Structure formats: structure tokens, C-alpha cells
Amino acid sequence: MRPQIVNHPENATEHALEGLALTHPHLIAHDPVTGLVTRARPARDKVGLVSGGGSGHEPLHAGFVGTGMLDVAVPGALYASPTALQVQAGTVAADSGRGVVQIVKNYTGDVLNFRIAGELAEDEAVLTEVVLVDDDLATDRGDADGPGRRGTAAVLAVEKICGAASEAGAGLAEVAALGRRVAGRARTIGLALRAGTHPGAAEPAFVLPDGVIELGVGIHGERGTGRVPLADADGLIAHLVDPLAEALALTRGSSVIAVVNGLGGTSPLELSIAARATHHRLKDLGVTVARSLAGTYVTSLDMHGVSVTLLPADDDLLPLWDAPVRTPALTW
Amino acid sequence: MRPQIVNHPENATEHALEGLALTHPHLIAHDPVTGLVTRARPARDKVGLVSGGGSGHEPLHAGFVGTGMLDVAVPGALYASPTALQVQAGTVAADSGRGVVQIVKNYTGDVLNFRIAGELAEDEAVLTEVVLVDDDLATDRGDADGPGRRGTAAVLAVEKICGAASEAGAGLAEVAALGRRVAGRARTIGLALRAGTHPGAAEPAFVLPDGVIELGVGIHGERGTGRVPLADADGLIAHLVDPLAEALALTRGSSVIAVVNGLGGTSPLELSIAARATHHRLKDLGVTVARSLAGTYVTSLDMHGVSVTLLPADDDLLPLWDAPVRTPALTW
């Protein structure tokens, strides 16, 4: 039995959105009818940014609405894409006259519904561009006909960098191109010591035997790519950093932005230890960490685990990364 | 078996501090020899603020070092007070010529070691004042001879408000008086659905039978004041808000600052639901929530649970609460 702090499984995500908005009324507003989360004070005369997808990944995406990041988040039900009509409403709401970039994690339902929503929004004279985020290295099968890689925590980097560019006045095509570049180069891989538990469920989505961890987990309770023995923090993080460094062809002298992300039930103590291990492992490989984050950003309910996202730190990305941001879940 | 992301129990807190500093090099610095966490750029010509205590409560206190909050954090070992000599070093390091306020959670070892450290610091011509934080309503026995109430999450409010006053140029006596007023009026109570697990331990500090939760828990793995049946989020939060409202004599028209605090292993989804429940319960009681926070701030390792802190929102406190703050764990 794994009890949780919820009222009813049916209203968990709705209540969480309401709670987030009640906590941050100066930053965001939540419309209980449409489900949309918007900035408390909508931006004017800038390229709009909308993202969304299934809930269960809190604080994503609603927690990243605010100055320097998203204009609108479109939350679906738990692990389920929002409808095309919801996304259309969110896309139109994000428009202040200069078009809207839709940031979409690569899941079939999301991709389909954002595409339809984009067409519907264009019918309302809102120009749209799509940035597809498909960073999960665990699902990289090199198979052009398959569904491709899943979208996971790199969406935070895409939203941050596109948000900064849009805030600085970049045009629709420029913001979209930047987002595609970030999405194209960021890779993520995660591991779990315990799967997340659906509100109302008695047990986690999958149960691990003692002494093993699940490598390459997704953020929807899917099993990963394999199981490996539990190791110390340095050993666990090596399972993530090493394949990322290989996939990104990092070499001595490379420089990266690193995001160490808790998957929902990971304690701050553990996250800081994981951050240390990530820094040390990259240093051992000769890679410079230009910027890093460690926190709980893109979750799978209360999964106990961690993901690492690496993004090569091109010189032009750093000022955008460093630009001010004020959202419920990310502020500097 | 409850596995964790650690290297070795002996170095868990030290590695976590190193990881926090590696993640936020522009904000804080960690000295591995003294253990102290200081601002990356020490403040000048202001009242210094130092706090500390046992580790295992991350991000407290190191996560609250930075502009608008602490100057120095003195971390002890896991759940163990730092030594008087460590606190002395931290107190002296926090001084920029206008004296130092020591913010101390009410535990016997901390109180003793901060007192000795204050005397030693005065020998070095550093003026000190102590603010004792004893907010835990679960330990309020009305017994003047006992150890008094424990110090828990209200320490965040004391550090934030003293920090703002100190940054604004207030003098030593003024900052201390303000801290004492906040500490004197803030109350906290917490509950756990699962206790925290010591790094390296196989099981949580105490094990709850199915269907009950522990009410009035501390942040050191102590049992609480009693067990009550598991309820929905609204019911759980009522167990916290109602006794706080009574103890603070809140009435219709009262206004509070509310901190909804995750105890380490609580997911963001649950924390937002708890925040909603807190807002609703207070509204039902006719109490206005002037400001609120919901996050993981003062923990008991990876405890699955939540505490609520309420502080009457006096008019002069709100500008101090709203003043800018830039620390690893709290920024606005």
C-alpha cells in the first residue's frame, strides 16, 4: 500500500493546478473551465510560447508559465494528451500578434493534437511553428520508421531558451529554429529506484526486486530498457552520463549545460548528491559544466529516481539560459 | 529495503553540500575543511545572519544562503548539532562589522553550542544576538520547565524576514527583535505517510501500518503525537490547519502567511494538492492567505509527508516577505 496526499484520483491533476495557481497568483492563472494555465499578466507584442501534454509530470508544464518561459500551458488528464480543441484554445491564448511556437514532447497523441490545433489556430490567423522535443536517449533505436525518441526533461531547456529569445524580441522563425537546435542536441536518460504510483493505485506502476534499479525509464510508468544492480550514487550517475557523453560525442574541452532532475519522489539530499556525481563524472571525462540545475522539474508522479539532461553549451545559448525567468518552478 | 542515491552513509551530507555548491557557484561556496557554507560574494556593512544545525533537513540551511537571507550556514552531521567551534567560525564569518544574529532551532545541542559560540565570538569582538525558533505546535505542552517546542519549518520565515531587514540596513537589535516576533507568532504542525530513511538503513525510522498516518511528526525521525486514519488531502490538511488556527487564535478577518512544506519525499503533485487544501481550509475559517509558499524546504531526509506553517501577516512583515531573495532554494 502506498498512500498519497490526494482527494480523489479523478480530481488530482485539477486540484494540483488550482493549488499551484493559488500559491502563485502574481505569476499564473488557472481557468478551471478550459483547464488552461496562463500568465497572470499576458505578455504583449512577442512570439507566444505554448506547451502542454499529459499531467503527472508536475511542475511541468504549468510550473514554467511566466516571464522568460511559457505564455500558456495546456494540461491534459493524467498521462493523457490534451485534446486538439484545448491545444487550439491555448495556442490562440498565447498569441499576441507575432505568432506562436508550440513546444511538443514526442508522444503520438501530443504530436497529433498539437498539429490539428496548429491548423485550427492558423484558421484563426494565428501563425504557428512546432518544436518537437525528442531527447530520451533510452528510446534512440536509430529506426527512422519508428515513433522516435520520447520527449522528457530537455523540454525544460527548450522552454527556457525559446522563452528568453522570445522575451528579447526574436521573431517566430528565429525562436522556432533555436528551439529545434536545442531539442536536436539535448539528450536525457533516467533511472528509477521505485516507479511512480497512480493516485488511487495500491502499488507502483512496476515493482523492482531488491538490489536492482530500472535504467532508461520514461515518465509515464513505462519500464526502462533494462535492469542493473543498485550501485552507489557515483555508479548510478555513470550509467546516465557515460551514454549521454557518447551520444553527444563530447570530448575533452566540450562544455555543457546539465540538468539533474528528480523524478518526483527523490529527496533534496539525494538530488544534491546526484548533482555532485554528475559534475565529477563530467570532469573526469574532461567536460566543463558551464551551467547546471538540480531540482524536481519533470516528474513521473512520485517516482524515486533521477534523470540527467546534457546540452552542449554553445556560446550563444548561455546568455539565453542566464536571462531572467520568473515562473512557479524556475526563477532567477 | 529502501535504496537511496548516496555514495556512503558517512559522506552523504558532505557530498550533498558539495553538490549544492557545484550547482550554485554564483550564489554559495562550501568550504570542505570547515564545513561552512557562505555567500559566493560576502555582504558588506550589514547585520550578519548565521544559522545551522544537524543535516538531513535539506535544503535547510545551506539552501537559504544568499542575498536576502543567510550569510552563513553551519551544517552539522546528520541530525547532529554542529560543534561550538564550527558555530563560532560561522558566526565570525557572518560578521561584516555590525554584529550577527544567530537563528537557532530549539534543540538542546544546537541551543548549547550556539550559546557557547556566541560567547566565543564576543571574545573576538563580534556582537551577537540569538533568535530561538520553537514553532512546532505538536510539542507545545505548556510546561515551562520542559524543553519547549521543537524548531521546524518556521525557521524559513524567520530567515527570510530577518534577511530582508538586514539587507535593508536594520541594526542588530532591530533584526533580532523582528526575528523573535516572527518566531514567537509562527506555528507549524506536520504529518507523515512514511518516515524518512537514514542513508544506509534498510527501513524508515518508524513503520506505519496500512491506513494510518502519523500526526505531529518532528524532523528527526521521532514518532509524532498520535496516529489517525488516512484521509483524503482535505482531511489530512484539516488535521494541521485547525489546531494551528486555534493556537494562533485566528478569527474571521485574520490574515496569514502560509508555508506548505514537503518533508522530503512528497511529490510536486501532492504538494500542490496540499496547498489547495490549505487555502480552502483557511478560507472556510474566514482567514485570508496574504502570501503562501508550497515546496520542499525543511525536510526529514526522504519522509513522505507535509507540514503547514502559519504566521499572522502583520502589515509590516509583508514588504519584508516580498523583498527580493536569491538563494539556491528560495528566489524571487
**pLDDT digit string (tens) for A156-208?**
999 999 999 999 999 999 999 999 999 999 999 999 999 999 999 989 999 99
Whether residue B157 lies inside any domain: the answer is: yes
Residues B43 and B112 in one domain: yes
Whether residue B117 lies inside any domain: the answer is: yes
Whether the per-residue pLDDT at A43 is higher than 80: the answer is yes
More confident residue, A202 or B253: B253
Q: What is the pLDDT of residue A1?
A: 67
Best A240, A267, A309, A325 residue to mutate vs chain B (most B CBs within 10 Å): A267
For residue B130, give the amino acid letter: V
Dihedral of the CA atoms B278, B280, B286, B291 (nearest 10)? 50
Strand boundaries in B160-229, DSSP class E: 187-194, 212-215, 226-229
Domain boundary among B185, B212, B231: B185
Residues A164 and A24 in one domain: yes
Residues 6+ apart with CB under 8 A from A187: A135, A136, A137, A140, A154, A244, A247, A248, A309, A310
Q: What's the rounded Cα separation, in Å, for the pair A118 and A124? A: 10
Q: What's the rounded Cα separation, in Å, for the pair B206 and B202? A: 11
pLDDT digits (tens, 9 = 90+) for A60-113: 999 999 999 999 999 999 999 999 999 999 999 999 999 999 999 999 999 999
Q: Which CATH number goes with the domain that contains B28?
A: 3.40.50.10440
Q: What is the pLDDT of residue B143?
A: 74
Whether residue A205 lies inside any domain: the answer is: yes
| Among A residues 218-257, those touching chain B with beta carbons less than 8 Å apart | 230, 232-234, 236
Mean pLDDT over each residue of chain B, to the nearest integer:
97
Gap from B324 CA to chain A (nearest CA, Å): 11
Whether the per-residue pLDDT at A145 is higher than 80: the answer is no
Report the residue from B18, B232, B289 with minimal CB separation from A7: B232
Residues B132 and B202 in one domain: no
Whether the per-residue pLDDT at B79 is higher than 90: the answer is yes
| Among B residues 105-164, those touching chain A with beta carbons less than 8 Å apart | none
Nearest to B259 by CA among B324, B167, B329, B195: B329
> Does the annotation count B15 as an active-site position?
no
- Strands across the sheet with B212-215, in order? B226-229, B212-215, B187-194, B304-312, B255-262, B288-295
The residue written with cell numbers 491545444 in the block is A87
Residues A154 and A84 in one domain: yes
Residues A171 and A193 in one domain: no
State what percent of residues in chain B have pLDDT above 90.
96
Best A10, A79, A198, A272 residue to mutate vs chain B (most B CBs within 10 Å): A272
> Where in the sequence is the domain holding B142, given as residue range(s)?
11-185
Rounded to the nearest 5°, which phi and psi values hold at B67? -55, 125
pLDDT digits (tens, 9 = 90+) for B124-148: 999 999 999 999 999 998 777 788 9
Q: What's the rounded Cα separation, in Å, for the pair A134 and B163? A: 43
Cβ pair A282, A256 in contact under 8 A: yes
Domain boundary among A158, A185, A212: A185
Q: What's the rounded Cα separation, in Å, for the pair B256 and B235? A: 20
Q: What is the pLDDT of residue B115?
A: 98
Q: What's the rounded Cα separation, in Å, for the pair A73 and A91? A: 9
Whether the per-residue pLDDT at A299 is higher than 70: the answer is yes
For residue A90, give the amino acid letter: G
Q: Which CATH number goes with the domain that contains A261?
A: 3.30.1180.20
Whether the per-residue pLDDT at B260 is higher than 80: the answer is yes
> Would you list the DSSP string of A170-202?
--HHHHHHHHHHHHHH-EEEEEEEE----TT-S
Q: What's the rounded Cα separation, in Å, for the pair A238 and A15? A: 38
Q: What is the pLDDT of residue A142?
A: 77
> Would you list the DSSP string of B65-88?
BSBTSBSEEEEEEETSPPPHHHHH
Gap from B80 CA to chain A (nearest CA, Å): 16
State what percent of residues in chain B have pLDDT above 70.
100
Residues B154 and B174 in one domain: yes
Residues B39 and B147 in one domain: yes
As a residue count, chain B comes to 332
Q: Do A276 and B213 touch (CB under 8 A)?
A: no
Q: What is the mean pLDDT of residues B18-34?
A: 97
Q: Do A58 and B269 touch (CB under 8 A)?
A: yes
| Among B residues 7-66, those touching chain A with beta carbons less than 8 Å apart | 7-8, 12-13, 15-20, 22-23, 55-56, 58-59, 63
> Does the annotation count A57 as an active-site position?
yes
* Largest Cα span, chain B: 56
Residues 6+ apart with CB under 8 A from B74: B35, B36, B50, B51, B52, B53, B61, B82, B86, B87, B89, B90
Whether residue B304 lies inside any domain: the answer is: yes
Whether residue B277 lies inside any domain: the answer is: yes
Q: What is the pLDDT of residue B144?
A: 72
Whether residue B212 lies inside any domain: the answer is: yes
Q: What's the rounded Cα separation, in Å, for the pair A23 and B40? A: 30
Chain A residues near residue B211 by CB distance under 8 angstroms: 1, 3
Report ipTM (2 d.p.). Answer: 0.98
In whole angstroms, how large is the CA radius of gyration of chain B? 19
**Helices (runs of H) and strands (runs of E) counted in chain A:** 8, 12
Chain A residues near residue B193 by CB distance under 8 angstroms: 3-5
Q: What is the mean pLDDT of residues A249-260?
A: 98
Cβ pair B193, A197 in contact under 8 A: no
**B269: contact with A, CB 8 A cutoff:** yes
Gap from B286 CA to chain A (nearest CA, Å): 16
Residues A178 and A198 in one domain: no
pLDDT digits (tens, 9 = 90+) for B163-219: 999 999 999 999 999 999 999 999 999 999 999 999 999 899 999 999 999 999 999
Give the Cβ contact number of residue B321 at 10 Å: 19
Whether residue A1 lies inside any domain: the answer is: no
Whether the per-residue pLDDT at B1 is higher than 70: the answer is no
Beta bridge partners of A213: A228
Give the Cβ contact number of residue A44 at 10 Å: 8
Whether residue A260 lies inside any domain: the answer is: yes
First to last CA, chain B: 39
Residues B98 and B86 in one domain: yes
CA–chain centroid gap for A74, Å, is 13
Say if pTM beats, i.e. exceeds, 0.80: yes
Whether the per-residue pLDDT at B320 is higher than 80: the answer is yes
**B263: contact with A, CB 8 A cutoff:** no
User: Minimum mean pLDDT among A123-137, B142-156, B198-212, B282-296: which range?
Assistant: B142-156
Report helix, strand or coil for B274.
helix
Alpha helices in A28-171 (DSSP H): 84-94, 108-123, 154-167
Residues B120 and B220 in one domain: no
Domain boundary among B140, B162, B185: B185
Residues A100 and A74 in one domain: yes
> Would you list the DSSP string of B17-83?
HHHHHHH-TTTEEE-TTT--EEESS---SS-EEEEEEEESSTTTTGGGBSBTSBSEEEEEEETSPPP
User: Minimum mean pLDDT among A123-132, A148-157, A217-226, A296-305: which range?
Assistant: A217-226
Nearest to B179 by CA among B155, B148, B153: B155
Residues A297 and A208 in one domain: yes
Specify the number of domains making up chain B: 2
Cβ pair A7, A305 in contact under 8 A: no
